[in-house]
Structure 1
């Protein structure tokens, strides 16, 4: 009888392991870079843009690299490849972005987040493309939330006024009117965007309205809705309306895009825009948040 029970148990275990859909689930943390790029496209272990890959940055961290130079539309395929790889089937993703990476994930979710995605096996080839898992598909991707360091989904006045003295396609996308009209920022597929706004600006960033981190102003990094940017500040600054925390309307009545909430406002003006290849600036705040909550 004992032998019979053991044999039945082994048979049950084998049946469970072979049953489709009962494979173990894995969580991944995806980091999507911004302007200038730096990491090797297709290599999800290339963290050159961010900093040492040895630093903790969320469970099973992956660098989702794109060139940071060409247009959002032309480069979005690299992000879709990564989302297909790691965020389909039983697997789920946490997403962190920096600067134009916020525009990139927003664009991808708005335009492709309702499409059919073939479930992948999380085993990428050298181009960053994964093979099919069980041949079935799903709608969109399994994303728990997005945390955006200095999100540029609302564009930057540095692009408007030519302070970035370059003619690359991405800079054209980053013009405030262009960025805000590029996709429906309210269409996030019910995925929350948690915004982290830096405020350590300098004199040469004076063309940026309100508080800024030298490259992106609060109207963008705070997820403020509308067709153009505005002037938003910390409560200590009486010269413009306050950017509020959470989803609350800002001082003066402006609102944030749907499913956007300000998680961090740099009241101490301590964080600038730049990671400097060492997880610095406002990226450091998001990295800490990913370590503690992307589990």
Structure 2
């Protein structure tokens, strides 16, 4: 058994899934697996269809695998992956986790190393691309199939009440907010990336979504960079910091199987800083 510390980069997908659950080498949701997306990258695949509560075990299994013992993790998430990591940290980040050997079986589960436990996981930080932690008005309006269990979780009031978004166990969520949205501009308030509005991708607190924009828009409160409250005074959730605001309105929500859209911004950060 090796006692050397290893760092891993975990990528947690959003709605529609794509990769095979439990297969941490399957990057089909994101793009070519050859892309540099952080040190020792792993794809934490879940189905992107069922409720966060029923799929979250796949995320916890991966966190147990790679983020316990001497090992540490950088986390990157897209869209509903924001709900997945936030839910895991709030509800399970204070529980005892067995230290694992980082060698997953086909189900994505790893073996205990020495039988000892630790509280929560070793996480350096979380990059959130087009985060759906605040839900989407497209779920409210029925633009997505309401028969899909995840879509009911993605309604703005439901997503915001799903867990305590302020309880990140001290981990900083760096928010990457895209603004190249035109298709649903009548449904999504303020600036949006065609699926998620700034109130969600910018980590703005509250029980429902407000309207937030780039500074060039005079008729809408600005989404501020960093952890500062938005213009108008509404606070961000604790430890949520806007790292990228799409002032040029150049990136949309979709990775398109090529690390595209807002995912490209998070991937560039992971390449540079997840070492």
**Structure 2 residue 244 is the aligned partner of structure 1 residue 261:** no
Q: Which has the larger radius of gyration?
A: 1
The answer on whether the counterparts of 2:177 and 2:244 sit within 8 Å (CA) in structure 1 is yes
Instruction: Name the SS for the 1:144 alignment partner.
Output: strand
CA displacement at 1:165 relative to structure 2 = 3.0
**How many Å apart are 1:100 and its aligned residue?**
0.1
| Match runs of 1:17-96 below 5 Å | 23-96=3-76
Equivalence for 1:9: none
5+ residue gaps in structure 1? Answer: 1-17
Q: 1:194 aligns with which of 174, 178, 181?
A: 174
Q: Distance in 2 between matches of 1:204 and 1:145?
A: 31
Whole-angstrom CA distance in 2 between matches of 1:99 and 1:204: 16
Decide whether the 8 Å contact of 2:22 with 2:58 is kept in 1.
Answer: yes
Distance across 2 between alignment mates of 1:161 and 1:203? 14
Q: Aligned pairs, how many? A: 275
SS in 1 for 2:124: strand
* CA RMSD in angstroms, aligned pairs only: 0.9
2:66 paired with 1:111: no
**Cα pair 1:110 1:187 within 8 Å, conserved:** yes
- Note if 1:125 corresponds to 2:105: yes
**What is residue 154 of structure 1 aligned with on the other side?**
134
Q: CA deviation at 1:166?
A: 4.0
Consecutive unaligned residues in structure 2, runs of 5 or more: none
* Greater share of helix: 1
TM-score (norm. length: structure 1)? 0.92
- Equivalent position SS for 1:106: helix
Deviates more, 1:202-211 or 1:225-234: 202-211
Structure 1 stretches of at least 4 aligned residues deviating more than 3 Å after TM superposition? none
- The superposition leaves residues 267-293 of structure 1 with CA deviations (integer Å, 9 ceiling, x where unpaired) of 000000000011000000100000000
In the other structure, the counterpart of 2:184 is: 204
Secondary structure in 2 matching 1:77 = helix
SS at match of 1:253: coil
SS at match of 2:176: strand
Which residue, out of 139, 148, 152, partners 1:168?
148
Aligned partner (choices 273, 278, 281) of residue 258 of structure 2: 278
2:268 maps to what in 1? 288
* Deviation for aligned residue 1:205: 3.5
Superposed displacement of residue 134, structure 1: 1.1
Q: Which residue of 2 aligns with 1:137?
A: 117
Maintained 8 Å contact 2:145/2:151: no
